[in-house]
Every structure is written in C-alpha cells, then in structure tokens.
Amino acid sequence: MNRKYLFGVAGLALGVIISFYWTRSFNTTNAGTQNAAAPTAAMPSAGVGDQKAMMGDVAQTIEKAKSNPKDYDAQVAAARVFYQIQRFGEAVEYLEKAYAINPAEIAKQGALGFIGQYYFDQKKYEEAEKWLNKAVEADPNEPDAHIILAETFMQRQPPQPDKAIQALQRAIKVSPKNGHAYGHLVEAYALKKDAKAAEEALAKLKEAEPANNRIAALQTLVADVKAGKAITLPSE
C-alpha cells in the first residue's frame, strides 16, 4: 500500500501492538516513518530452521482460519500473518471476515481505515467509500478518515467535488490547522472551477503549514483555474 495505515491490535490475536495512526506518503513525519517500519524492524533475523518453523506456524494459522470461519480470533490472526508479509489483499480478506463476526471489535482496533485505504489504492473508490464511512462512524474525530474519504470522491470519473468538500470541512472542523485537509480543499474547489474558494483554501494552507511542499504545485493549480485552463490535480 502506498499510504500505510497501521492499526492497533492491543491484546487481540493480531499479537503486535502498534499505535494506530494515519500517515500519507507525501507528509510522513520522522516519527511516522519509524512506526511504519516497526513491524519489519522488530522482527529478528532467522536461520533456515527458524524460517521453516515460522512458515509452519503461518500455514497452521491460515488453515485454522479457513477451518473455523466463525472464529473471530482465528480470522484476525490470519490477517496479522498476511499484514506482516505485506500481502494486504489477503489481510483485508480476513479482516472483513472478522468484521462480519464482530464489527464493533474490528472498528475498535482501527482496521476499518486500513481496509478503506486498501480499496482506495486499488482504485475501487465505491468500496473504499463504504469502509471509510464505517471508519468515520467509528471515530468521527479522526481527521484523516475524512480526508481519504474526500479523495475517493475527487478521484472518480467524473469527480464529485461537492461531496469531497463536505468531507474535508468535517476534517478541518476536528483539526483546524490540518494542512493536508486544506491542500485537498484547494483541489476540490479547483475541480469546481471556483478560483476564489480555491485561493482562500490555499491561503489557509500557507497559514497552517507554511513549509508544506505542495504549496508551489497548488499555486500553479489555482493559477490555471483563474486562467480557465484545463487542470490536472498535482500528485502527492
């Protein structure tokens, strides 16, 4: 996954305790980078015998999940295995099975955002919207859930900027100085061809995060809207 969502698993069968937070590839902080690397860095090197034993444990964990489709802990354990080896599609598959068994617990662990991010990366925006809406419902005070939800609307063809703006305004309400949200708000207004609102959002981004490395690209975007040119949203 290009943008990594780590989910907390305190005390459950996932077995690794990772503080859940949201991070994006374009503005990952040093702390975020360290956390994102933690699942791999924390794993010790293993000899051939150890590797065979670990593979046996992996196979056993997956088989248990398949043989016990109503066992919540077994599904989550299988998701953990696939997550650790970065096979995110399979991790999502088992997280969805766990959600069907115990939706409240999966929501509590922050896995809904992980599922939504996976589908976003696969460009399955309607499916991503479904899971991100669940994440927002579970924790409406998590700004990045709103922000990625907004992106699902902007990336569609045709885009739905009004829905994106609504989601971004919710993000800003819970995080008033969120430069990430303001950056995407500039883009959403640009998609609406609303140069004035885009420029106002850009000014707020500059105030919130004057060192944000997307400012130059967004200034060009606003200038293109003012000039009536065709626009392309800048990459992150």
How does pLDDT run across 30-42, given as a tens digit for each residue? 333 333 333 333 3
At 116, the amino acid letter reads G
Write out the E strands in 17-137: 21-22
Distance CA 87, CA 104 (A): 24
Mean pLDDT taken over the chain: 83
- 54: its two tokens: 């670990």
What is the number of domains present in the chain? 2
- 135: its two tokens: 């994440």
- Reported as a single tens digit per residue, the pLDDT across 177-209 is 999 999 999 999 999 999 999 999 999 999 999
Looking at 74, 104, 128, which one is the last position of a domain?
128
φ/ψ bin of 173: left (φ > 0), alpha (ψ from -120 to 50), beta (otherwise): alpha
Question: Does residue 211 lie within any of the structural domains?
Answer: yes
CA distances, 28 to each of 31, 117, 193 (Å): 8, 16, 30
- Reported as a single tens digit per residue, the pLDDT across 91-103 is 999 999 999 999 9
| Better-scored residue on pLDDT, 47 or 213 | 213
Structural domain containing residue 155 = 140-236
Kindly state whether residues 35 and 116 are assigned to the same domain.
Answer: yes
Greatest CA separation for the chain = 65
Q: Is the dihedral of CA 10, 12, 15, 18 positive or negative?
A: negative
**What is the separation, in whole angstroms, between the first and last Cα of the chain?**
14
120 touches 151 (CB < 8 A) = yes
Kindly state whether residues 97 and 36 are assigned to the same domain.
Answer: yes
Question: pLDDT-based confidence at 54, cuts 50/70/90?
Answer: low
Kindly state whether residues 172 and 234 are assigned to the same domain.
Answer: yes
Q: Is the dihedral of CA 181, 183, 186, 188 positive or negative?
A: negative
Looking at 67, 96, 128, which one is the last position of a domain?
128
Q: Where are the alpha helices (DSSP H) in 42-71?
A: 48-67
Instruction: Give the per-residue pLDDT at 12.
Output: 38
Question: pLDDT-based confidence at 47, cuts 50/70/90?
Answer: low
Looking at 96, 128, 160, which one is the last position of a domain?
128
Domain containing residue 229: CATH number: 1.25.40.10
Kindly state whether residues 74 and 150 are assigned to the same domain.
Answer: no
Question: Does residue 111 lie within any of the structural domains?
Answer: yes
The secondary element (H helix, E strand) that includes residue 116 is helix 111-121
Is a pLDDT exceeding 50 seen at residue 166? Answer: yes
Question: Does residue 133 lie within any of the structural domains?
Answer: no
Question: Does residue 134 lie within any of the structural domains?
Answer: no
The secondary element (H helix, E strand) that includes residue 42 is none
The answer to whether the peptide bond before residue 158 is cis (omega within 30 degrees of 0) is yes
At 51, the amino acid letter reads Q
Question: pLDDT-based confidence at 85, cuts 50/70/90?
Answer: confident
Question: pLDDT-based confidence at 217, cuts 50/70/90?
Answer: very high
Contact residues for 140 (Cβ-Cβ < 8 A; gap 6+): 170, 174
146 touches 136 (CB < 8 A) = yes
